[in-house]
Structure 1
């Protein structure tokens, strides 16, 4: 399983099939390539450098098909936070 942290270095969760799953099993989003969309189909972020998640402000209005709110992931152990990266202009941190 791929593990993901946000740009600030906070642990977010893991990839389970096509879904980004928090350690408590809650589905945070679905992957479409490197982009991630929530259950309503709204863009919420993407994979950046070293599997860090970040949100491109220019993509805020991007949409994909939504998916079931009944999808659940496997519960996994949380991981420690890591050092933050400097923020890139035009982006903001991926928030859970």
Structure 2
């Protein structure tokens, strides 16, 4: 579980990152979560965009991705979800 200080730091770090995944009307599927998990291992901090044609609640989508990838939700702001998972092999971010 991330502390508020760590979340604040990660929000600052994610400011310049562009979303690399989009969740559409099909919702979250196993293939997508596998790819997100691989991206998290490589980058540690990513953004996921939830498209307008997805009628699920953004918080529910974020929690579903988080639980399937074992990542931490840093923030859900509008249609963007910021996710963090400490990398095993590619450690880049030092939390305060």
TM norm. shorter chain > 0.5: no
More helix by share: 2
More strand by share: 1
Taking structure 2 as the reference length, the TM-score comes to 0.28
Taking structure 1 as the reference length, the TM-score comes to 0.28
